[in-house]
Amino acid sequence: MHHFSYRRGVSHASVLHAEDVDLSALADAVGTPFYCYSTATLERHYQVFADAFAGAPDTLVCYSIKANSNLGVLASLARLGSGMDVVSEGELRRALAVNVPAERIAFSGVGKTKEEMAFALDADIFAFNVESEEELRGLSEVAAARGKNARIALRVNPDVDAKTHHKIATGRAENKFGVPFERALSLYQLAAELPGILPVGAHMHIGSQITDLEPFRNAFALLTELVGTLRDAGFEIEFVNLGGGLGIPYRNDEAPPPLPTDYAALVKQALGNLGVRLLFEPGRMIAGNAGILVSRVLSVKHVGAKTFTIIDAAMNDLIRPTLYEAHHEIIPVIGPARGTPNVLTDVVGPICETGDYLALNRPLPELHAGDLIAVMTAGAYGAVLASQYNSRLLVPEVLVSGSQHCVTRPRPSYDDMLAAERLPDWA
């Protein structure tokens, strides 16, 4: 569910609104393209996930910042008590900037630098998710040198097929993430011997946009087995981090993914008797449907039987269709008149790449230059993956709450873009 819907506008036309904000008027005020996020949707999705674990003894929901790192989004979730899952010092600094308590922050990622480790140790975060023996030894060196102890969970790779896109699957043996399941015990034993390391948790994350509970069931069975093995070996496992990955609906013509309540029931069945704190790292599930990308049609081009709808948003603004062959529903901001015919069209941007598209062969109401469109379900892995390719300005981000809106990341000027670089003396 989201809070983007058509309402009567001032001209009595049906206009798409974000909560109580008229998106046509917002486009005139902010300019296009822009991202728009709904506070009500963010809050609802977080609460639905958290409430699904009501009755569980101890849970910590750590929103995965990599899905959407906008400070307004983070602050909205922090107010609800959300923890944060970070994968860089920059993300950690964002979490701290919106007053997320350090004891509610977990640090993931395969390439933590020693400088990042030191910063996180000084911040006294809850735990590190350690991805390799090399990282384990490096973290020990940094922690010991600072006279600190790093609480860790080894990320264990269960070699489970998440049945998702190959670029967002993380739990197969050929993926770069985690340590092999069969090496886990020996690495925990090493961790117990290293100075500055407290091996008190276990972590498993098998991928993103998972729409079938069976991969979770298989992974959780292995995780339960691992906790039993570690406890038999004398380890006091205090928490288990189950990662994220629960999918969301991107298409109107497909069956919906499992509900958070279905996922929670599986978790409670599989791990409810372990007597551990349960950590979760949802990102897409919270932010995905809470955001849209609004763009304006520049022109409509006809080449033989082919129609191209050229818009002012491009692959540098939303790369998911190009990178993942991802589908995003696209709807006009001004509701089409009854009887408006659909036209089969490619929705493309201005970038000099054939791969610059947001939709291919998509049936859409007939569009014209100046019309506004909304690219739905763009709140996760949208603006965070944006770039300045072709020296295009970064897209602004707007957060709405009821009838209010705030441009939480303004569009930079061309002067801002150029000022970020320096010419060498010899030029």
Q: What is the pLDDT of residues 181-237, one digit of tens each?
A: 888 999 999 999 999 999 999 998 888 788 889 888 888 898 999 999 999 999 999
- Binning pLDDT at 50, 70 and 90, where does residue 172 land? very low
Per-residue pLDDT at 9: 64
- Binning pLDDT at 50, 70 and 90, where does residue 339 land? confident
282 prior amide bond cis, ω within 30? no
Indicate if 352 belongs to the active site: yes
Say if pTM beats, i.e. exceeds, 0.85: yes
DSSP reduced 3-state for 357 = strand
Residue with tokens 């092999």, as numbered in its chain: 180
Q: Give the pLDDT mean for 392-416.
A: 98
Residue 167 scores a pLDDT above 60: no
Q: Give the pLDDT mean for 1-7.
A: 92
Share of the chain above pLDDT 90, in %: 79
Residue 164 scores a pLDDT above 50: no
Q: Give the pLDDT mean for 289-312.
A: 97
Per-residue pLDDT at 215: 86
Annotated active-site residue in 36, 62, 352, 406:
352
Per-residue pLDDT at 160: 53
Q: Which one has a higher pLDDT value, 1 or 246?
A: 246
User: Where are any strands of DSSP class E within 333-403?
Assistant: 342-348, 357-365, 372-375, 397-401
Residue 320 scores a pLDDT above 70: yes
Q: How far is CA 231 from CA 59, 131, 225, 228, in A?
A: 20, 21, 10, 5
Helix residue ranges, H only, 342-421? 414-419
Domains of the chain from N-terminus onward:
4-38+289-419 (2.40.37.10), 108-282 (3.20.20.10)
Question: Whole-angstrom Cα distance, residue 239 to residue 167?
Answer: 28
Question: Whole-angstrom Cα distance, residue 127 to residue 281?
Answer: 13
Per-residue pLDDT at 168: 40
